[in-house]
Amino acid sequence: RRYEQRIAAAARRAADRWAGYARTGDQIDLGAEMRHFALDTIWRALTGHPLDQATERELDRIATVVAALPQLPDGEQAGAAVAEDLARIDAVAHAAIAAARRHEDGPDGPGVLRVLLDAAELHPEYTERLIRDELVTLLVAGHETTATTLTWLYLLLDREPGARRWALDAGPEGSPERREAVQALVSETLRLYPSAWILPRHALTEDTLAGHRVEAGTDLLVCPYLTHRDPALWPDPERFDPARFGPGGSRPAHLGGYLPFGLGARACLGTQFALRESVAVLELLLPAFTVRFLDRPAGAVYSITVRPDGPTPVVLAAAV
């Protein structure tokens, strides 16, 4: 709730950009647009400032590093492989930290970065390096996953166009019914393409899971992507059906049947922020614009996130 104004401002900015594209008929990359929105939103939350073009150009390198991570070599060579990109990201991070220290707040006041700096005054373990690492982690986790989810959502709506109409017909603009239906679109997208498609965990003690002995010290991988497509839990699991999450929808009773953000003490801290920003922008974009894909990605890439395999060129038009 504290960041509602910043989320709403970023959503309005995205809608204004889309209105311009709809007027000109220009071809755009949907994934790039969603990254712009999500990065603008998290930047406002972290710094209090809207995202400017120069900062966006530098932070675009985050996507390059994230895409490269699974292929990077071990050890020091990994850093060397993306050293230039990391240096540019670091420059932005350190400039933002310095501005926050000077109390150069944005129009909506200070951001999360100020909270980290205030904590550093009380806790000496909050070193400059740690604050930088926290900032960059929040930037990466706070925009790449949301942007990917929104891109998948529009690809799924292209395949099942009736789902858009279902959400818009749920209630008038601004009503709780429509908001719930739009969130159902997001929830069903996260079922098919969870933000974290695989979750690493470490067993502190010995245990037994589904009849298998797990020794203390074992590394385990939990795969929400496969769980969400288990026909024993989800009838017709490959079908995009947001009504599963609507009123009267059928979802698994088992708590572990749906975990796009993880579960328990290690669940994602940004769950509610991500859901709120996704719904906020979709409440503006879905009724106002139609999206025509000029080409569709052939499949998915299973990396840090599960993302579309290729660009997503579209043309926008004002909805009739």
pLDDT of residue 285: 98
**What is the model's pLDDT at position 250?**
84
pLDDT on residue 72: 63
What are the pLDDT tens digits along the chain (320 aa)?
778 999 999 999 999 999 999 999 999 999 999 999 999 999 999 999 999 999 998 888 877 777 776 666 666 666 677 788 888 888 999 999 999 999 988 888 889 999 899 999 999 888 989 999 999 888 888 888 999 999 999 999 999 999 999 999 999 999 999 999 999 999 999 999 998 899 999 999 999 998 999 999 999 999 999 999 999 999 999 999 999 999 888 889 888 999 999 998 889 989 999 999 999 999 999 999 999 999 999 899 888 889 999 999 999 999 97
Confirm whether pTM is higher than 0.85.
yes
239, 162 contact by CB (below 8 A): no
CA distances from 292 to 29, 30, 66 (A): 11, 10, 28
CATH 1.10.630.10 fits 4-195+262-318, yes or no: yes
Q: Where does the chain have alpha helices with state H?
A: 4-24, 30-47, 53-59, 61-68, 76-81, 83-101, 112-122, 128-159, 162-168, 176-192, 224-227, 271-288
Instruction: Map out the domains of the chain as residue ranges.
Output: 4-195+262-318
Are the C-beta atoms of residues 126 and 69 closer than 8 Å to each other? no
Query: Is 299 exposed, middle or buried (CB count within 10 Å of its CB: 0-12, 13-18, 19+)?
Result: exposed
Instruction: State the Cα–Cα distance between residues 5 and 294, nearest whole angstrom.
Output: 34
Instruction: Report the pLDDT value the prediction gives residue 86, as an integer from 0 to 100.
Output: 85
Number of Cα atoms under 13 Å in the Cβ half of residue 184? 25
* Residue from 178, 123, 150 nearest 32 by CA: 150
